[in-house]
């Protein structure tokens, strides 16, 4: 079985998007492609069954003739984790993963396996990425999200240390323009010299990590106060209005397409936000703003969202999803595919798989 295990050093590194973009390219090149996510920490109920959160979109994107629930043999719910930790379930889950992988690979030229959100995941269930990859005889491709120069180096070396010879290479994702020179002229040669093949370097595209207002409404269970209810507008930046109006205005001018989170009683901050490129206002504490704010926001087409939680709770809720390349948006997948075609050495990936 030819399989490629795609994982990442940390969450929200573009792992699922890479699986789908690479899967669609393989299909385009005439290969039959299967998909499996051995371990999922994102339970979602689909048609009365527990499946991975992204399973329905993965099935549709790759044209898979399987039920969404079959795309991840082990979905960790709160109940399963409790029973496993307390010893109420003592089964070794690896045979279940092996059987699911063998079934998913039937009739396929290559099986794409999506690993955990980070190399730390899976140990408590006996399914850490290095062990699963070894059991299935898979080559491993690691997405390394650029955060800063030092962490890039350490993250790539960590991947090499944990995965050993099963590492087929890394793809460095979300590289900002001002870091491109270091990545290409310093990091890439260093990695290649230390047996860490760099199979691609993807530039940062903020729109891929953005949220729509509709998604934010769902996450926060918010109430829209304005007549303007446009929910497909894109949020590329988040900022908290907890400073003076003068300081806020200076910061707001530096950020485009942002959501501003502030208390409903901070009229000065809200006005400052409406003077700049703001996608929506998120007002916390269930405090309704001045009618002046509602009127001006409507005139500018900026939705005003009211949430019951305080500012810290609201930020934590958004942090759980912001920065993730949210699936279910075909345009984002197409954009990621374009990045893959332009910036990833597909010949090298195919060669590592013997394709």
Give how far Cα 351 sits from Cα of 4, 236, 252, 346, Å: 12, 37, 48, 8
pLDDT tens per residue, range 99-126:
999 999 999 999 999 987 788 889 999 9
**Do 64 and 146 share a domain, yes or no?**
yes
Distance of CA 263 to the CA centre of its chain: 29
Residues of the chain with pLDDT under 70: 209, 229-232, 319-330
What is the pLDDT, as a whole number, of residue 177? 93
**Do 166 and 247 share a domain, yes or no?**
no
How many other β-carbons are positioned within 10 Å of the β-carbon of residue 192?
Answer: 12
Query: What is d(CA 62, CA 76) in angstroms, rounded to the nearest whole number?
Result: 24
| pTM strictly above 0.95 | no
**Do 223 and 77 share a domain, yes or no?**
no
What is the pLDDT, as a whole number, of residue 223? 87
pLDDT tens per residue, range 286-317:
889 999 999 998 988 899 999 888 888 888 77
**Do 186 and 335 share a domain, yes or no?**
yes
CATH number of the domain encompassing residue 150? 3.40.50.300
What is the pLDDT, as a whole number, of residue 324? 54
**Do 79 and 172 share a domain, yes or no?**
yes
Query: What is d(CA 139, CA 144) in angstroms, rounded to the nearest whole number?
Result: 16
pLDDT tens per residue, range 205-236:
877 767 778 878 877 888 888 887 666 677 87
Among residues 327, 341, 346, 345, the alpha carbon closest in space to that of 15 is found at 327
Q: What is the dihedral of CA 212, 214, 215, 217, to 10 degrees?
A: 130
Among residues 110, 35, 106, 117, the alpha carbon closest in space to that of 73 is found at 35
**Do 239 and 340 share a domain, yes or no?**
no
Average pLDDT, the chain: 87
What is the pLDDT, as a whole number, of residue 215? 78
What is the pLDDT, as a whole number, of residue 190? 97
Query: What is d(CA 324, CA 15) in angstroms, rounded to the nearest whole number?
Result: 10
Query: Count of domains in the chain?
Result: 2
Provide the percentage of residues in the chain whose pLDDT is more than 90: 45
**Do 202 and 304 share a domain, yes or no?**
no
Give the domain range for residue 271: 211-319
Q: What is the dihedral of CA 321, 36, 132, 341, to 10 degrees?
A: -70
């Amino acid at each position: 079985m030819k399989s490629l295990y795609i994982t990442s050093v940390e969450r929200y590194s573009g792992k699922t998007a890479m699986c789908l973009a690479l899967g669609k390219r393989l299909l385009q090149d005439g290969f039959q492609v299967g998909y499996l996510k051995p371990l999922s920490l994102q339970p979602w109920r689909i048609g009365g069954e527990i499946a991975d959160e992204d399973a329905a979109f993965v099935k549709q994107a790759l044209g898979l003739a399987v039920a969404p629930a079959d795309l991840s043999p082990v979905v960790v719910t709160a109940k399963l984790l409790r029973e496993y930790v307390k010893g109420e379930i003592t089964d070794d889950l690896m045979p279940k993963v092996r059987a699911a992988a063998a079934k998913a690979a039937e009739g396929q030229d290559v099986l794409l396996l999506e690993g955990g959100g980070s190399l730390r995941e899976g140990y408590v269930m006996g399914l850490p990425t290095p062990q699963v990859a070894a059991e299935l005889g898979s080559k491993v491709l690691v997405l390394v999200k650029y955060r800063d120069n030092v962490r890039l180096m350490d993250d790539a070396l960590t991947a090499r240390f944990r995965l050993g010879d099963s590492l087929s290479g890394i793809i460095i994702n979300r590289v900002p323009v001002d870091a491109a020179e270091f990545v290409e002229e310093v990091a890439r040669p260093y990695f290649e010299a230390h047996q860490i093949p760099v199979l691609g370097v993807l530039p940062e595209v903020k729109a891929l990590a953005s949220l729509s207002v509709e998604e934010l409404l769902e996450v926060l269970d918010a109430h829209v106060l304005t007549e303007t209810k446009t929910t497909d507008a894109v949020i590329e930046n988040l900022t908290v209005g907890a400073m003076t109006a003068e300081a806020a205005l200076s910061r707001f001018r530096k950020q485009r397409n942002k959501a501003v989170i502030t208390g409903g009683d901070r009229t000065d901050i809200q006005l400052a936000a409406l003077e700049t490129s703001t996608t929506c206002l998120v007002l916390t504490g269930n405090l309704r703003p001045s009618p002046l704010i509602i009127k001006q926001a409507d005139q500018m087409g900026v939705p005003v969202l009211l949430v019951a939680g305080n500012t810290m709770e609201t930020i934590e809720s958004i942090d759980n999803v912001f920065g993730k390349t949210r699936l279910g948006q075909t345009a984002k997948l197409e954009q990621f595919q374009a990045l893959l075609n332009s910036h990833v050495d597909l010949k090298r990936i195919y060669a590592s798989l013997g394709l």
